[in-house]
Structure 1
Amino acid sequence: METFAVRLKKLLKEKKISQSELSKRTHIGKSSISTYLKGGYIPKQDKIYLIAKVLDVSESYLMGWTDEKERKQTPPPSFNLSDIKPIVKTVKIPLIGVICAGNGIYADENLERMLVVDSNTITADYALTVKGDSMIDENILNGDIAFFEKTFNFESGKIYACIVNGENTGAIKKVHQQGNKIILESANKDYTPQIYDIDDVHIVGKYKGLLRTE
């Protein structure tokens, strides 16, 4: 089944409704709607009802639980907002900047925002925005948000966030060790492996998954 974010994006396009118009008709903030479309947060039940009503689909279809679009012509159920339970258990993960999937880019470690994600899907300590195309064969694309678990150790052949030469030049690569050398391997045949002395590469996180924003 498709996710809420995917369904919402498709329906807006299908109905020719802009984010601004949806915001105006539901009285939901533009920033909240933008977050919904990026998959960063699932709205509460009252917001789901408002969006589904404007888009003329059932709440279940909008959430991706069914392929039945038809909206039943019944009044919404009565409830107290304080009684609403989360649809899924969520956790907040800090998005702290960017990391290179190319030939090297400044790894900005300033907190940008907190991402709200399904705790059953992602377990991570922080997230970084991917810049570049060197990991495309691992389905890690430019603009993706990559999640990492803090670690300073590594298992050869796995994907890690690392800092080279003790500077703020971060990279996401497959990491291998051969003797006293570290090899940073891309997942794109257009990029050659990079070889460093073992003391020049610092592992700062193990790759745990990604969130595609577009």
Structure 2
Amino acid sequence: MDMNEITERLKDILATEGKKNIKDADVARELGISPNAYAQMKFRNSIPYKEIMDFLSKRNISINLFFYNQENKNLEASEKRYKTLRLFNVRASLGGGGYNDDEEFDEVVIDKKILQKFEHGCGPMYDLDIISAIGDSMEPHIMEDDLCMIARGYPYKDGDVYAVNTPDGLVIKECYKQADELMLVSYNPLYTPIRFRQCECQIVGKFIGLMRDVRWI
């Protein structure tokens, strides 16, 4: 589907809402895009997927139905087989530094049979996110560029590995609470433990597994 067809479909939706004489500029404003920028996108056939998905979500319109004319029966079968996870554009430092507070993410679709391998360690009731790792302090178990599966909201237990927001950025470490401090321990013996006051840190979730050399994401 190209931008011309998408624009016409968006106009049809706006027409059902009672709008008349709908122009491309009207579509652009509904998407939160300037008319000039939208005209350039249309010329380049560059589809603003995020803005369109937000537009459809507000109206409770199926994205699959809009783009692919996929019927509900097919959608139900797809939902039973696949699950959408958030792949965060941040990179969790395995060493020092690497501060990044950008919380943008992409959505990736994964077969639920694969996810069951990870959920075995935490149960399916926890939301899973994916965070890319950087550094060598958790080697040999976690390597740079590994995609780390993080179970949000998993109960804390000393000695487990967690993704933690710290004053130095997002890290993945073995954690221990001592008095009012949180001690973060690396697997790589070249790195000494680091300590922060617990009030300075936020435990994002428990590390439950990883994917390595996944080049299709």
TM-score of the superposed pair, with normalisation by structure 2: 0.53
Q: Is 1:132 matched up with 2:124?
A: no
Deviation per residue, 1:27-66 (Å, 9 max, x gap): xxxxxxxxxxxxxxxxxxxxxxxxxxxxxxxxxxxxxxxx
The 5-angstrom pairing of residues 23-38 of structure 1 reads: none
The 5-angstrom pairing of residues 1-214 of structure 1 reads: 89-97=81-89, 98-105=91-98, 106-117=100-111, 118-123=114-119, 124-137=127-140, 139-151=141-153, 153-165=155-167, 169-213=169-213
Contact 2:82 2:109 in 1 (8 A): no
- Aligned-pair CA distance for 1:200: 1.2
In 1, Cα distance between equivalents of 2:155 and 2:102: 22
Q: Percent identity?
A: 24
Deviates more, 1:119-128 or 1:95-104: 119-128
In 2, Cα distance between equivalents of 1:188 and 1:200: 24
**Alignment gaps of 5+ in structure 2:** 1-73, 120-126
In 1, Cα distance between equivalents of 2:109 and 2:133: 15
AA aligned to 2:144 is: N
- C-alpha change, 1:91 and 1:152, in structure 2 (3 Å) is closer
In 2, Cα distance between equivalents of 1:104 and 1:194: 12
- Aligned-pair CA distance for 1:91: 2.1
**Alignment gaps of 5+ in structure 1:** 1-81
- C-alpha change, 1:128 and 1:107, in structure 2 (3 Å) is farther
In 2, Cα distance between equivalents of 1:92 and 1:122: 14
In 2, Cα distance between equivalents of 1:205 and 1:172: 10
- Give secondary structure in 2 for the equivalent of 1:112: strand
The aligned counterpart of 1:61 is none
In 1, Cα distance between equivalents of 2:117 and 2:210: 10
- C-alpha change, 1:107 and 1:136, in structure 2 (3 Å) is farther
Higher helix share goes to which structure? 2
In 2, Cα distance between equivalents of 1:115 and 1:184: 32
- Aligned-pair CA distance for 1:152: 7.3
Q: State the number of aligned residues.
A: 127
Runs of 4+ in 1 over 6 A off after TM superposition: none
In 2, Cα distance between equivalents of 1:128 and 1:188: 20
- Give secondary structure in 1 for the equivalent of 2:86: strand
